[in-house]
């Protein structure tokens, strides 16, 4: 097998955790999920 030449790349580093951004995203996703469930129930009752 051939050996790789050149410098080895640095490993992956995780970005700093932003709790405010995480909380905002989770609240938005929860609202969308609740809306979708209620919308599906209403459509199921109508049809």
Domains of the chain, by residue range, sit at: 19-47
Extract the tokens encoding 32.
Answer: 């969308």
pLDDT at 29: 98
Q: Per-residue b/e over 18-45, b at no fewer than 16 CB within 10 Å?
A: eeeeeeeeeeeeeeeeeeeeeeeeeeee
* pTM (predicted TM-score): 0.62
pLDDT at 10: 78
What's the CA gap between 29 and 36, in Å, rounded? Answer: 11
Extract the tokens encoding 37.
Answer: 């469930």
For 2-47, write each residue's pLDDT tens digit: 666 667 777 889 889 999 999 999 999 999 999 999 999 999 999 8
**How far from 11 is each of 15, 16, 32, CA to CA, in Å?**
13, 16, 36
């Amino acid at each position: 097998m051939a050996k790789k030449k050149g410098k080895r790349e640095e490993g992956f580093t995780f970005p700093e955790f932003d709790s405010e951004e995480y909380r905002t995203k989770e609240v938005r996703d929860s609202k969308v999920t609740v809306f979708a469930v209620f919308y599906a129930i209403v459509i199921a009752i109508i049809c």
